[in-house]
Structure 1
Amino acid sequence: MAHCSGGWLLFLLILLLALSVQTSQAPIRIENGVKSSVFLSPKFVLKPGSVVNKFYYDIDFPIGHIAIKSFNAEVVDEAGNPVPLHETYLHHWVVVRYYQHKSVKISKYNDSLGFESFDQSDFIIGRNAGLCDRGGPTQYFGLGSETRKTATHVPDPYGIEVGNPAEIPAGYEDKWLMNVHAIDTRGVEDRLGCTECRCDLYNVTEDGHGRPLKPGYMGGLRCCHDQTQCRVIEGFKSAKRGLYMRYTVKWVDWNNFIIPVNIYILDVTDTWKKSDELTSHYCQVEYDVDACTATDEANDGCIDAKRVSLSLPTGGNVIYSVAHQHTGGIGSTLYGEDGRVICHSTPTYGEGKEAGNEAGYIVGMSTCYPQPGSVKISDGETLVVVSNYSSAKGHTGVMGLFYILVADSLPQSNSFLPVPVDEHEKITLPHSVWGIAFFGAAIAVAAVFAFRRKSEQEEGYQSI
C-alpha cells in the first residue's frame, strides 16, 4: 500500500512538473477559450544612429497542436514602456517557423546567425504558402512601423495551424526564430534618410556579407545591416539603452471545428512572367521610388504606381488581407483577374509624438475581413498587386507586400462557431491558480484510477 501511494505521489509530481514547464515562459490569459501570452525577445542595445538586425533562434512560443488566432509585436524599453518610432524606428520584424534536426545544438537566441544558416540539411524552413522562391519572404508573421495599429486577428472558425506532429519531418523539432531590424534615430542628421537606409548616411560600401554594393544602389537593406551607424548631428550625445520586442500570441487548441488557412505573401517586386511559366518567382523585396518631374506632377499628381501580375496555383476563400508599405506609401490594392477589388489597404499616418501616433510615420494599415465565401480566388487565377507611393520626393528601400489568408473550404452550416476573438472577455489566471486547478484535476484523475483499481481487485481482475 505504501508502495502504491508513493507511486501516485511520483505521478502527481511529474504532472505538476510538466505544468511548470508549460507555463514558466509567460502567464496565460484565457478569453472564452482563446489563450494568449506575452513574451519578450532577448535584449538588444542601441545608441543614437545605431542599427540592430538580429536573428533570435528558438524563441518562446506556445507549444502543442494549436491554431494561431493573432500575433503582434512592438518595441519596448527595459521598464516595459512602448518606444516611439521617432526614437527607435522598427524597420521590420518577422517570425519564421523552422525545423531543426534533433542532433544539432545551437545556442538559444543566437543572434549571429542569419537565414543563410538554413542552407544546411540540419535546418528546414517551414515556409508560408506564398509564391516567392528562396530569398523572398518566408515568414508566418511580420510587420513594421505599422505594427501597433494593424489588426492581425484571424476570425472564427479559422486559424493558422501549427504544431501538427504529422507535418514535422522525422528526426526534427518544430521551432521559431525572430528577425528584428531596428534603427535608433535619436539625434541623427536625416531621420527619414536613416529609416530608408540611404547608403551615403551610413557610409558603407559593402553589404552585411562583405559583398560590394552594386553600382547605382542608393539605399535599402544592404546599407543598414547589423551594427552599422547612421550619421548623427555633431556633438549630440545620449545614453545607450536596452530594448526588447514584446510579442503577443493568441491561440486555441486545435480541434475539428477549426478551418485551417494558408498564408500567402505577395511581393510587387516579383519578377515572374505569365508568358514564361518556367520563370522563378524571384522577389527583390525592396525597390526605389524616383522623385517626380514637373511633367509627372501635371499628369498624375506625383504618384508612383508599381504593379505585378501573379498566378495563384491554388485558390480558395479570402479570409483576411493587408498590405505592408513604408513611409511615403499611400495604399495598395489587390485585384482579381476580372478586375474586381479583393482588398484595398491604406496606411494611417500618426499626428503626434506618443507611441502609436508618431507624426510622419505609418502607424497602421487598414485590413480586409470579407464575409466567408464572398471573396474567392480560383485555382490558377491571375492576381494583380498595385503598390502606390507618393513620388513628391524620392524614396529608397520601400516595400510593397500583400498578406492574404486563404481557406480551402467554408464552414458547414451546422458547425460550431465560437465567439469571435476580438469579443472575448479577458480573464487572467496566475501560475498559482493554474497549479491549484491542475493539482485538483490530477487528484480527481488519481481518485478515478484508485476506484477502478479497487473495483478490479474486488472482481478478481488483475490491473495492467
Structure 2
Amino acid sequence: MRRIFLSMMLLFGVLLLLILSVQISESVFSEVNGEKSSVFLTPKFVLGAGSVCNKYYHNVDFPRGHIALKDFNAEIVDESGSSVPLYETYIHHWVILRYYAPKDTDTNKERDSGKMIMVRNSGFCKNLGQYFGFGSETRRTMTRVPDPYGIEVGNPAEIPDGYEERWLINLHAIDLRGVEDQFGCTECKCDLYNVTKDEYGTPLKLGYTGGLKCCYDKTQCRVREGFRNIKRGVYLKYTVKWVDWEETILPVKIYVFDVTYTAKRGSDSESPCKIEYDVEACDRTSAGIDTICVDNKKTSLVLPNGGYVIYGVAHQHSAGIGSALYGQDGRLICTSLPVYGDGNEAGNEDGNIVGMSTCYPQPGSVKIFDGETLVLESNYRSIEKHTGVMGYFYILVADQLARPSRREIYKLEILKYTWLLVLMGVVAAIGAVFSFLRKDEKYGGYQLLGI
C-alpha cells in the first residue's frame, strides 16, 4: 500500500512539473475587437546572489506579418510565473530591437554571418535603436499607442528578398539577494564588482568608478558574508498587443533621445551616444546645509523632419527626479516624472523608480516643426554621487493627424445645419421686431384694452 502511495505521489509530481513547464513555455494568445495580444517568455536564465545577466536573445517569439504594434510591456517572473520584486532581481534595462536576417540562417549563427540588417528607430543614436525599452519602471509605465495610430512593422515591401523580419531582446538584470549594498550594485559601482577591466579586457579609464563597464554579463556584486546562495531560474515575460495593418491606421515614427548626445548641426546626426553618465555630489558645505542639490543636464538636438507628438516618456534611474523636452521657442513638449515605490510588493518596491509618467497630447496640440532645435533636460538629486545613470526620452511622432470618421463628419454636418437654422430663426425674429416697430410708428402705437 505504501509503495502504491509513493508511486502515485511520484507520478503526481512528474505531472505537476510537466504542467508547469508547459505553462511557462507556451505563449498565451487572445483577441478582443480585432486587437490581438500574446504573452511570451525569453529563454530561462539562472541567477545566484549578486550575479549579473546581460543576455542577447536573437529571433525571439514575436507576432508575424504586416501589423501595427499597439502596446508592449515586460517584467521578470520566476519559474512558477510569479512576479519577482526589484529587491530580488533588479531590471537595469531591457530593450527589443528589430532586424532582418536571411531566411535560411540559423539563429545561433546569424550574428556571425555578417548578414544581419538592423532596422533602427528614427532617433539619432546608433547604439539606441530599440523599438521599446525600459528598466525598473517597466511595470507601471504606460506604453499604449493611441488609436488610430500604430507602429508599422512587417511590411513585405520593405523586407529585402530572401530575408525575414526578426526580433532581438537585450536583457540586463542583477540579482540583489544578499548583497552588501543594493543601491551600489544597481549603480554598478566598480569596487563592489571588483572589476578593473571591461568585458573585452580593456583596462578602465582613470576616474571610471561605476557604470555598464563594471556590471557586464557574469560579473558578481559583493554578497554579505555567510549569506546562503540559492540559484534560481527566471524569465523576462513580455506582452505584445497589435492589430493587422490597414490603410486607416496612421504610422508613427519612434525617436529615442539621450541627454548625453553631443553632435552639432552639420555633423554626423547619427553619432553614438554615451548611454550613461555620472552625477557628481554637490558641495553643501559652501552652498549651505539647506541647499537643494539637483544635477541638471541638458543637450540640444535638431529634428530634420517634424510632426505631431502622439506620446512621450522618459527613462531614468533611482535618484532621478524628472525629465523634460522643450521646443526651440521654450514651449514644453512633454514632462515625464518618476513614480517611487513605498512598499514590498512587485511593482511598488520601496525606494525604486517603479513607473514614469507619460504624455498623451490632444491630437494636433503639440507639433515639432521641420528642422526645429529641441532641448532635452534630465534632473537627478545630487546630495551624493551617482554612477551610470541614464537620461533618455522616447517620443512617437505622426506625420499627419487622424481624419474625422464618418460618424464625426455626420455630427459636424448636423451641428452646422443646426446653427444655420438658429441663425435663420434669429434673422426672422429681428425682422418681425423691426416690422412691429415700423407698424407701431405708422399708427401711433397700440392702445391697451380696457383703459
Q: 2:38·2:241 contact (CA, 8 Å) conserved in 1? A: yes
Q: Decide which structure has the larger Cα Rg and report it.
A: 2
Alpha-carbon distance change, 337 to 230 in structure 1, aligned in 2, over 3 angstroms: same
**Residues 254-302 of structure 1, C-alpha deviation per residue, up to 9 Å, x if partnerless?**
001100000000000001123x535753300100001111145679610
Q: Does 1:130 align with 2:152?
A: no
Name the residue aligned to 2:362.
371
Question: One-letter code of the match for 2:64?
Answer: I
**What pairs with 1:255-294 in structure 2 (closer than 5 Å)?**
255-274=246-265, 276-278=266-268, 281-294=271-284
Q: Which amino acid aligns with 2:383?
A: A
Question: Which position in structure 2 is the counterpart of 1:5?
Answer: none
Pair 1:40 & 2:41 matched = yes
Q: SS where residue 107 of structure 2 aligns?
A: coil
Partner residue in 2 for 1:305: 296
C-alpha distance in 1 between matches for 2:315 and 2:407: 33
1:416 shift after superposition: 8.1
Alignment of 1:111-130 (within 5 A): 117=111, 121-130=114-123
1:347 paired with 2:338, answer yes
Q: Equivalent residue for 1:359?
A: 350
Q: Against the structure 1 CA distance between its residues 309 and 297, is the aligned structure 2 distance closer, same or farther, given a 3 Å change threshold?
A: farther
Aligned pairs (5 A) from 1:40-439:
40-107=41-108, 117=111, 121-133=114-126, 136-274=127-265, 276-278=266-268, 281-294=271-284, 295-296=286-287, 301-414=292-405
Note if contact 2:28-2:40 (Cα within 8 Å) is conserved in structure 1: no
| 1:168-214 deviations in Å (ceiling 9; x for gaps) | 12221100010110000111011000000000000111112222211
Residue 102 of structure 1: how far off its partner (Å): 2.7
Distance in 1 between the 2:120 and 2:297 partners?
26
Q: For residues 326 and 229 of structure 1, what CA distance do their matches in structure 2 show?
A: 20
TM-score, with normalisation over the residues of structure 2?
Answer: 0.82
- Provide the secondary structure at the position in 1 that maps to 2:157: helix
Higher relative contact order (CA 8 A, sep 6+): 1
Q: Partners of 1:215 and 1:304 in 2: how far apart?
A: 22
Distance 2:396 2:118 in 1: 19
- Could you state the TM-score of these two structures normalised by the residue count of structure 1? 0.80
Q: Percent identity?
A: 62
Determine the C-alpha separation between the residues in 2 that align with 1:26 and 1:296: 56
Counterpart for residue 411 of structure 2: none
Pairwise CA RMSD of aligned residues? 1.8
The secondary structure found in structure 2 opposite 1:167 is coil
Amino acid at match of 2:174: I
Indicate conservation of the 8 Å contact 2:307/2:398, yes or no. yes
- How far does residue 103 in structure 1 lie from its aligned partner after superposition? 4.1
Residue in structure 2 matched with residue 435 of structure 1 by the alignment: none
Indicate conservation of the 8 Å contact 1:130/1:263, yes or no: yes
Q: Distance in 1 between matches of 2:291 and 2:72?
A: 38
Q: Secondary structure at the match of 1:80?
A: coil
Instruction: Mark the runs of 5 or more structure 2 residues left unpaired by the alignment.
Output: 1-24, 409-451
The corresponding residue for 2:419 is none
Q: How far does residue 414 in structure 1 lie from its aligned partner after superposition?
A: 3.1
For these two proteins, the number of residue pairs brought into alignment is 383
- Judge conservation of contact 2:98–2:131 (CA < 8 Å) in 1: yes
CA contact (8 A) 1:128 1:262 kept: yes
C-alpha displacement of 1:412: 1.2
SS at match of 1:165: coil
**What displacement does 1:356 show?**
0.3
When structure 1 is superposed on structure 2, of 163-172 and 299-308 the one drifting more is 299-308
Answer yes or no: is the 8 Å Cα contact 1:261–1:407 preserved in 2.
yes
Q: Gaps (5+ residues) in structure 1? A: 1-23, 418-464
Query: 1: distance between equivalents of 2:269 and 2:93?
Result: 28
Which amino acid is 2:397 matched to?
V
Note if contact 1:150-1:364 (Cα within 8 Å) is conserved in structure 2. Answer: yes
* Partner SS, residue 164 of structure 1: coil
| 2:367 partner amino acid | K
Q: For residue 166 of structure 1, give the secondary structure of its aligned residue in structure 2.
A: coil
Counterparts of 2:325 and 2:218, CA distance in 1: 36
* C-alpha spacing 1:415/1:261, structure 2 compared with 1 (3 Å): farther
Deviates further, 356-365 or 291-300: 291-300
